[in-house]
Amino acid sequence: MWHDDILGTIGGTPLVRVNRLAAHLPGTVLAKLEFFNPGGSVKDRIGISMLEDAEERGALAPGGTIIEGTSGNTGVGLALAAIARGYRCIFTTTDKQSPEKIAILRALGAEVIVCPTAVAAEDPRSYYQVARRLAEETPNSVYLNQYDNPANTVAHVQTTGPELWEGTEGRITHLSVGSGTGGTISGSAAYLKERNPDVRIIGVDPYGSVYWKYFHTGEFDEDEIQPYVTEGVGEDILAGNMNFDLVDDYVRVTDRESMLMTRRLAQEEGMFLGGSCGMAMAGALQWMEANRAAIDDDAVLVVIMPDGGYRSLGKVYNDVWMQEHGFLEADEVLTAGAVVGRRSKRSLVSAPADMTLDDAIASMREHAISQLPVMEGGEVVGSLIEQDILRFLMGDPDARGRLVRDLMGPPFPVVDASSPVHEFAPGLRGEQPAVLVRREDGTFAILTRSDLIAALGA
């Protein structure tokens, strides 16, 4: 059996038991892994739903343009639907979104406009307002507005809710969901409560969003609006799709808790997920801890995990980014010593200052390296790097016979083995190709860009 296009593969995502993280709690905790959708997130479900609704309403004619404000995932879902149906896409997003998300949207043929995060929703620079303006200016276009578009909620009434019910054989007792546009939590809750009014719905919000306080007090408090880094969840507006009447409780989670839980899901459960998934799981476990007395062994709590981890490689799975944002403790920080310690311990290959350039080139070839520290009297006095050597050879026919001391550049910076990577990594992003790491025994090791890339990608 085959599908007519990629849209036929949307939905039917698996439920997987959470074992280690929930071992101390009663009941069963299941993760609904939405990264199994073709576009890698739960938002694939609403892409086709909103597009078909626009077609049925006559809001979108053949060859038209879809315009949407997105944190990334909805854009991917819409881009897939647009490719299958022959539409163009323009997306606005914010500058806090990961580069991977923006790259994916562009890879799918969409035009992406990046807008500032730290502006009010009504500001003409916000990604909401830029999308609206573009829709007014672009002929044969539609602004789908996932926040207020009922087709968002309908997608989850028709697909996510039934999958949760059928996947647990009707045994689901609790659903924990992070909410942004409100479609996932409201649509899933509407279906589940129709089947069993006793199913409890727990919303999870990041600090800095307005939903938690609005649920508990009915007050839209602008003072609650603060910058936060967890992507795709929470809001500084009240989205039209967010139906608080269907929600039984709300908890909130810090960025740090979200990021650390995301890492734990990967390391302890084998679930490689995005930061909003860590937020949803941290909130679910927090709620279960606080309400342990009301949960029995027959309880089945499902946590919707919106997306996968590949779009978060530069953030939540990057020790440098985590340290820069204060999400890692000192003993969790990646150090220079730990990076060079991942390689087999080998002596530092260096060039004496009185060596000829020709001999230095031969040494680099022998050891398959692209840079050399220059030593004299046991001290690091300079460096040789490939691009400088190429410049010497092209500019001076006699350069091979000259001494290294006459051609060397400045020495590589020296850092202690205990130095956190985030302190020296910015230098490796520029022209500096390496640092020297001073081990505890006084010997040196070289740490290159490729070493750092290998360590951060591990």
Residues annotated as part of the active site? 43
Distances from the Cα of 315 to the Cα of 4, 206, 270, 448, angstroms? 36, 17, 18, 21
CB 144 within 8 A of CB 67: yes
Neighbour count for residue 145 (Cβ, 10 Å): 20
- Residue 356: what residue type? T
- Helices 73-85 and 44-57, packing angle to 10 deg: 50
Asked if residues 257 and 281 have their Cβ atoms less than 8 Å apart, the reply is no
The DSSP bridge partners found for residue 307 are: 41
Is residue 234 within 8 Å of residue 147, measured between CB atoms?
A: no
DSSP per-residue string spanning 333-353: S-BHHHHHHTSPP-PPP-EET
Side-chain-side CA neighbours of 68 within 13 Å: the count stands at 30
Contact 84, 100 (CB under 8 A): no
The H-assigned helical ranges of 312-448 are 319-324, 336-341, 357-367, 386-395, 421-428
Give the containing element (helix H, strand E) for 115: strand 111-115
Residue 297 in tokens: 């062994």
3-state secondary structure of 43: coil
The helices-and-strands tally (H runs, E runs) of the chain is 16, 16
**CA–CA separation, 381 and 379 (whole Å):** 6
Contact call for residues 410 and 433 (beta carbons, < 8 A): no
Locate 410 and state its tokens: 């400045």
Q: How far, in Å, CA of 435 to CA of 448, rounded?
A: 7
Burial class (CB in 10 A: 0-12, 13-18, 19+), 282: buried
Burial of 313 (0-12, 13-18, 19+ CB in 10 A): middle
Q: How many CA atoms lie within 13 A of 204 on its CB side?
A: 33
Q: Write out the H or E segment, with its range, that includes residue 134.
A: helix 127-137
